[in-house]
Homo-oligomer: A and B are copies of this chain.
Amino acid sequence: MSRPADGPGEDRGTPGGEAEEPPAGRSGGPGAVRASGGRRAETRQRLYRAAADLIAEQGFAATTVDAIAERAGVAKGTVFYNFGSKEALFAGLLDHGIERLAGALAEVARGPATSPVAVLDALMLAQLRFFDEYGPFARVLLAEMWRAAWQDAVLRLRTSVLAVYERVLADAVAAGELRSGFDTGTAATAVFGMVLTVAIERRALRPDQPVEDVHATLAELVHRRISP
């Protein structure tokens, strides 16, 4: 093997790691860390988007790395340079999406304090809008959420997304708007799953229906406005 002198076989520089940051030259050069101010980040974004699109259509296993690279407009080698493996790319995609969703919901929850029911409403709308914008990600999440392989991601989903719902429901209990003893954990999952399902269905089957209409229906379902 011709490899010059790169240390014992194993892998060469192998940059693709978990790190969101660039690999950080092991030479410790100080300036090197911040590195290519965003070129690499942009490549990763493109790969995330391409992967989400394809995996939403075909599933993880059926989607080839070649196809992802082609759709993203990069060379196959770039995928492995950036992520190291197909699985790591996917794990990164899940994390990235969950983080954004959690951010969107947390922002709503931080908003001007009104009644818990109003906040719940706003959360559902925010989730609906998020999945409307990132439809492929919604499908990927739905399909892969319960696979044992990605339990880490599911855990993050629970602690960062479902927790927002659960907190609001707990507030509602505290405010006397829900019976005390109400199972806020199950209800949080229920609302999340409801919104996720409807968001996907709307995109797939009724793209013309305004998100706001769908949201109104869900709001009516979930609280007392149900009554005529």
Partner-B contacts on A (CB < 8 A) = 57-62, 139, 142-144, 146-148, 176-180, 182-183, 186-187, 189-194, 196-198, 200-202, 204, 209, 213-214, 217-218, 220-224, 226-228
B-chain residues with CB within 8 Å of residue A178 when the two chains form the complex:
220, 226, 228
Query: Across the interface, do A148 and B189 meet the contact criterion of CB distance under 8 Å?
Result: no
Provided the pairs A58-B61, A59-B61 are in contact, do residues A197 and B201 lie with their beta carbons within 8 angstroms? no
Query: Across the interface, do B222 and A221 meet the contact criterion of CB distance under 8 Å?
Result: yes
Is the contact region of chain A dominated by helix, strand, or loop, or is it mixed?
helix
CB distance from A153 to the nearest CB of B (A): 14
Query: Across the interface, do A189 and B198 meet the contact criterion of CB distance under 8 Å?
Result: yes
Query: Across the interface, do B204 and A186 meet the contact criterion of CB distance under 8 Å?
Result: no
CB distance from A186 to the nearest CB of B (A): 5
Cβ-closest 6 pairs across A and B: A193-B197, A61-B61, A61-B62, A194-B194, A143-B143, A183-B217
Query: Across the interface, do A196 and B198 meet the contact criterion of CB distance under 8 Å?
Result: no
B-chain residues with CB within 8 Å of residue A204 when the two chains form the complex:
146
Chain B's closest residue to A175 (CB) is B228
B-chain residues with CB within 8 Å of residue A209 when the two chains form the complex:
186
B-chain residues with CB within 8 Å of residue A214 when the two chains form the complex:
183, 186
B-chain residues with CB within 8 Å of residue A180 when the two chains form the complex:
228
Query: Across the interface, do B190 and A220 meet the contact criterion of CB distance under 8 Å?
Result: no
Q: How far is the CA of A218 from the CA of B139 in the complex (A)?
A: 24
CB distance from A40 to the nearest CB of B (A): 30
B-chain residues with CB within 8 Å of residue A57 when the two chains form the complex:
147-148
Q: How far is the CA of A221 from the CA of B185 in the complex (A)?
A: 12
Q: How far is the CA of A180 from the CA of B201 in the complex (A)?
A: 23
Among candidates B183, B198, B200, B224, residue contacting A213 with C-beta atoms closer than 8 Å: B183
Q: How far is the CA of A196 from the CA of B62 in the complex (A)?
A: 25
Query: Across the interface, do A189 and B197 meet the contact criterion of CB distance under 8 Å?
Result: yes
Among candidates B60, B194, B221, residue contacting A62 with C-beta atoms closer than 8 Å: B60
Q: How far is the CA of A144 from the CA of B56 in the complex (A)?
A: 10
Among candidates B147, B179, B192, B221, residue contacting A197 with C-beta atoms closer than 8 Å: B192
Query: Across the interface, do B187 and A221 meet the contact criterion of CB distance under 8 Å?
Result: yes
Among candidates B59, B192, B193, B201, residue contacting A59 with C-beta atoms closer than 8 Å: B59
B-chain residues with CB within 8 Å of residue A218 when the two chains form the complex:
186-187, 190
